[in-house]
Amino acid sequence: MKNISYNLVKKLREITGIGILDCKKEIIITNGDIKKAILNLRKRGAIKAEIKNIKKTNSGIILVSRKKDFCAILEINCETDFVANSKNFYQFGSKIIEYAIQNSCKSLEQLTTKFESLRIDLLNRVNENIKISRYNFIEDDILYSYIYRNKIGVLLSVEIKKYNKHDKYDNNILKQISMHIVAKNPKYLNFQDIPKNIINKEKSIQLELTKKLKKPQKFFQKIVRGKVRKFFSQIILMEQNFVMKENITINQLALKNNIIIKKFVRLEVGEI
C-alpha cells in the first residue's frame, strides 16, 4: 500500500487511542483494513478491549412502529444531517414504516421494491443519495418499541409470568430495559446465542494475551475461559449491570419483575 490515507490512520487512532505511528504501521501491514488492524492490535495487547462498531459517515434516522403483535424497525440513510433532519426525509421514512406495519412486511426487499420510485424522487429533490438500509421486525404477544432521538431504536419481546391477554401490565419496566439496551448496546441476549466462530475468535485473542503473562501452561485454558467469559459478559444483555441500578444485572431485574426477555433488536444510525 504505497499511498497511506491519512484519514484511515486518523480513524484507527480515534477508535483505538494508540499512537499515530503505530496506527500508520498497522494500516500499512493490513493494507488499509481497519477491522484487521484492530484484531492484530488486540492480539498484541496494544488495546485491551473489543472496539465499538466502526461507524459509517452516513447520516440518517431510525424509525419504529408497532401494532398488536407486530413490531418493526427501519433505518434510512442520507449524506448529511441537514437532509436527515428535514421534514421530507422523515415523511419518506414514516411512509415506509407504516406500510411495513400495515402489511406485516418481513423483508427489506419488499420495502426497497415498493418505495424505489419515491426514493428516486426524494433523491432528485434533495440532491443527495438516499438509501433504505436496514429493516427488522418481531412478532409476539407482548412487544415494546423505543426510539432515542431518531438515531437509536429498540424492539423488545417479552413473556410476563401469570399474564393473559386481558390483563394490564406495567410498560415502565419494558421502557427501562429498552433504555438500557440503547445505552449499553448489548450484542446478544444470552451466552448461547453467540456464534461459535465469534467465541473461537475471542479465545484465540485471549490465548495470545495469556501467553504473555508467563504463567504455567497448565493454567492457560482456565485463564482463557475466565477472560472470554468476562469479555462476553459485557455484551450479553442478561449479564450486563442495569444502567439505572448498577448493583443488579438485567437477569436479576427480569426475575424480580416476573419477566422473561425473549428477543431484542437494536439499530443505530451508521452501524456496520
In a domain, 1, yes or no: no
In a domain, 69, yes or no: yes
Strand arrangement, sheet containing 152-160: 142-148, 152-160, 259-268
Closest-CA residue to 15 (of 29, 31, 35): 35
pLDDT in tens, the chain (272 residues): 445 677 888 888 777 777 788 888 888 888 888 888 888 887 777 665 444 444 343 699 999 999 989 999 999 999 899 999 999 999 999 999 999 999 999 999 999 999 999 998 998 888 888 999 999 999 999 999 999 999 999 999 999 886 665 556 678 999 999 999 999 999 999 999 999 988 888 888 888 888 888 778 777 888 888 888 888 888 999 999 999 998 999 999 999 999 999 999 999 998 76
CATH number, domain with residue 11:
1.10.8.10
Considering the domain architecture, whether residues 199 and 257 belong to the same structural domain is answered as no
Residue 163 has a pLDDT of 60
What whole-number distance in Å separates Cα of residue 6 and Cα of residue 111?
A: 38
Cβ contact 112:243 at 8 Å: no
Helix (H) or strand (E) holding 265: strand 259-268
- Identify whether the C-beta of residue 209 lies closer than 8 Å to the C-beta of residue 39: no
Q: Classify 200 in phi/psi space as left (phi over 0), alpha (psi -120 to 50) or beta.
A: alpha
Q: What was the pLDDT predicted at 94?
A: 97
* Residue 180 included in any domain: yes
Distant-in-sequence, close-in-space partners of 188: CB < 8 Å, separation ≥ 6? 194, 232, 235, 236, 237
The reply to whether 262 falls in a domain is: yes
Q: How far, in Å, CA of 55 to CA of 152, rounded?
A: 13
Among 238, 243, 264, CA closest to 142:
264
Counted domains in the chain: 3
Cell of 271: 452501524
Q: How far is CA 63 from CA 84, 96, 136, 220, 256, in A?
A: 12, 9, 11, 46, 31
DSSP-based three-state secondary structure for 160: strand
Q: Do 101 and 147 have their domain in common? A: yes
Structural domain of 221: 195-235
pLDDT at position 47 is 64
240 domain-assigned:
no
Beta carbons within 10 angstroms of residue 107's beta carbon: 11
H or E element at residue 50: none
Q: Is residue 81 part of a domain?
A: yes
CATH code for the domain in which residue 72 is found: 3.30.479.20
Residue 129 lies in a domain: yes
pLDDT at residue 54, rounded to an integer:
44
| Largest Cα–Cα separation, the chain | 68
* Per-residue model confidence (pLDDT) at position 19: 78
